[in-house]
Structure 1
Amino acid sequence: MLGAMASDFQRRKISGVFGAMDHDRDGYLTEADFRALTARWLDLRGTDAGTPGGRRLTGIMMGWWGTLDDAAGGDGKVSVDQVLRVVDELPKMPGAVTGTAEAVFEAVDENGDGVISAAEYHRLITAWNGVETPTDEVFALLDTDGDGRLSREEFTGHWYEFWAGDDPAAPGSRVFGRV
């Protein structure tokens, strides 16, 4: 018996992120798309892949590409339907999702202070979307304890909710903005 199919809400939120990541708009995610996303993010930080932080970000992003490609079959091209099939399996493997969240947290926490500031979050979303994106409203939703920053625990919980959850009202459903 097949696992549950992605809901319409899951399809909408994943398709939005997929579209933002599909740099060349060919309908697939590829290594080149992840390299383009990484380059945008480094550019927004005002650095490059040659710096320690740049090497770390590049390693995290390209590691995530390798994991996604492997999970989707390993042919170097991942369709939105393949991503959705992977998403269908995520509730069965929460460690994989939280592991990715930990890695992305490290990439977003530019200054290594153990929290994500509103500015660091803004750079993540703007890099991801490829266009300037207002993030104050969403950041306030994600900052569940109201301290003006996202702790590792807050971010990991929201990341899990985005990728493995199906609750439109959950703050984590908006990690990448409104759906």
Structure 2
Amino acid sequence: MVELLQRDLIERKYDVCFGHGDQNDDGILEMADCIALGARVIAYLEEPFDSPKALELLRSFGQFWQHLTGKLDADHDGKITPEEFREGMRQAWVDDPGGFETAFRPAAQALWNLCDKNDNGTVAAEEFARFHKAFGTSEENSRIAFEKLDTNGNGNLSVDELVDAWKEFYTSLDPDARGNWLFGDIWEKDIWDGTKVKL
């Protein structure tokens, strides 16, 4: 029973992630989707596309994609279905913690460094909301996420805390992990339509 609940939790989180990544809404993920998501984040954070932070985000997103496809794109067609994504994410990050450190942590670090506009090591609520808007997260879920992650109520989240929350979201099987709230209430009834996430 516990294993079933853990599987449901991690699969729901991966379904949400797939919904973020499928930028052209065609039901598959490709390299272009990954780069398009990075570009959306850069645009919503109003960062110059040629800045060091923007270039690092795009580089790290590309590295993440190469690592992920290396784990699960058996036919080398450069396309990933929702089912392949679920299995591949688990193999890439849960079953291989070193894989997260190699390929996904750099993407998380680059993302939150970009959100930290004034380089003070923290992300304010407004910056956090812009990140969520780029990912297609609703305003309500963005608010919920910030409240759940801002445990001391000071109105800021440290970059280190957010990197840790990112890791928990994508790797933790613990239903009480704080990082499960990174994108708000992912358990809401109507978020999954059977083929893709409705964000």
**Global fold match (TM > 0.5):** yes
1:110 aligns with 2:80: no
Partner of 1:37: 37
The 2-side partners of 1:143 and 1:95 are apart by 28
Out of 153, 178, 181, the residue aligned to residue 174 of structure 1 is 181
Name the SS for the 2:139 alignment partner.
coil
Contact 1:97 1:163 in 2 (8 A): no
User: What is the aligned counterpart of 1:83 among 44, 67, 85?
Assistant: 85
Task: Give the count of matched residue pairs.
Answer: 175
Does residue 7 of structure 2 align to residue 7 of structure 1? yes
In structure 2, distance between residues paired with 1:171 and 1:47? 29
Instruction: Give, in angstroms, the shift of residue 46 of structure 1.
Output: 2.4
Gaps of 5+ in 2: 187-199
Q: Which runs of 4+ in 1 moved over 6 A?
A: none
The answer to whether the Cα contact below 8 Å between 2:9 and 2:175 also exists between their aligned partners in 1 is yes
More displaced stretch, 18-27 vs 79-88: 79-88
Q: Report the equivalent of 2:126.
A: 119
Match of 2:157, SS state, is strand
TM-score after normalising by structure 2: 0.74
- Quote how far apart the aligned CAs of 1:60 are: 2.5
| Mapped partners of 1:103, 1:72: distance in 2 | 24
TM-score, normalised via structure 1 length: 0.81
Does 158-167 or 145-154 show the bigger shift?
145-154
Bigger shift: 49-58 or 7-16?
49-58
AA of the residue aligned to 2:117: E
Question: Could you tell me how far 1:48 is from its partner in structure 2?
Answer: 4.0
* Match among 153, 161, 173 for residue 154 of structure 1: 161
Superposition deviation, residue 52 in structure 1: 3.1
- Percent of aligned positions with the same letter in both sequences? 29
Q: CA deviation at 1:163?
A: 0.6
* Corresponding residue of 1:133: 139
Aligned equivalent of 2:151: 144
**Cα distance 1:169–1:93, how it changes in 2: closer, same or farther (>3 A)?**
same
Change (3 A) 1:94 1:117: farther
Moved more, 100-109 or 37-46: 100-109
Question: Which residue is equivalent to 1:20?
Answer: 20
Question: Does 1:96 pair with 2:102?
Answer: no
Give me the whole-angstrom Cα distance separating, in 2, the residues matched to 1:145 and 1:95. 31
Rounded Cα–Cα distance in structure 2 between residues aligned with 1:104 and 1:93? 22
What is the RMSD of the two structures over their aligned residues, measured on CA atoms? 2.5
What amino acid is the match of 1:133?
E
Contact 2:144-2:184 within 8 A present in 1 as well:
no
Residue in 1 that maps onto 2:51 = 51
Alpha-carbon spacing, 1:103–1:9, altered in 2? closer, same or farther (3 Å): same
